[in-house]
Amino acid sequence: MLRKSLLISVLLILFPIFAIYAQDETLKEEEAPKLLDVKPDFWFGIGGETAFYNASGLAFGGSFALGYGSGTSIGLKASFFSDGTELKIFEIDLLLRFYTSGRNAYEGHFIEFIGGASLINNTEDFLGFFEFPSRIGVLNAGFNTGWRFLFNNLFFAEPSVRFGYPYFVGLSVSAGVRF
């Protein structure tokens, strides 16, 4: 009985949607190519990074990023840094990227705003690697500027420089794939 009532409820909810789509007017031939030229862009990449996280020098590490959108992308980025001693930093950031070459661009110069959390450890407790929960957690914010080089309309390489807080300046090189 419960299955029948659930099925009827779902059909009653979906029926008006199908009726509305059935009444949509068809596209004119000159409008169709414009809609087909704009396709979604999903990308992900891995990279190597350096940043001035401490007063004595550089911290180095790697990152993983994924995003969605052409012209303007939104996404997530996770990075891990170490200075070779006990200092270890884990970042998780939201990103908002703008390509300066146009609304539907997915290559060329970009400006990216990032913000999130940095977990900073000065100890080696978690299997000699990282301590959870972190002793120091701070909000981070900054921006990147760089260039995406596209190969075969699928693979990319991105050198970039970043400025922000709690790091001062950083460099990164990443490579990835887009769909």
Indicate whether 10 belongs to any domain: no
Indicate whether 159 belongs to any domain: yes
Indicate whether 26 belongs to any domain: no
Indicate whether 114 belongs to any domain: yes
* CA neighbor of 114 nearest in space, from 91, 90, 89: 91
Task: Look at residue 138 and tell me whether its pLDDT is greater than 90.
Answer: no
Indicate whether 6 belongs to any domain: no
* CA neighbor of 177 nearest in space, from 95, 79, 63, 67: 67
Residue 21 has a pLDDT of 47
Claim: this prediction has a pTM higher than 0.75: no
Indicate whether 128 belongs to any domain: yes
Cα 125 to the chain's mean position, in Å?
30
Indicate whether 122 belongs to any domain: yes
Q: Which residue has the higher pLDDT, 71 or 129?
A: 71
**Count of domains observed in the chain:** 1
Domain range for 128 is: 39-178
**Residue 75 CA: distances (Å) to CA of 20, 42, 45, 93, 115:** 33, 10, 11, 8, 11
| Chain segment 27-41, per-residue pLDDT in tens | 555 554 454 455 568
Indicate whether 21 belongs to any domain: no
Confirm if 145 and 160 have CB atoms less than 8 A apart. yes
CATH number at residue 119: 2.40.160.20
Residue 126 has a pLDDT of 47
Rounded to 5 degrees, what angle do the CA atoms 30, 32, 35 make?
125
Task: Look at residue 100 and tell me whether its pLDDT is greater than 70.
Answer: yes
- Residue 130 pLDDT class (50, 70, 90 cuts): low
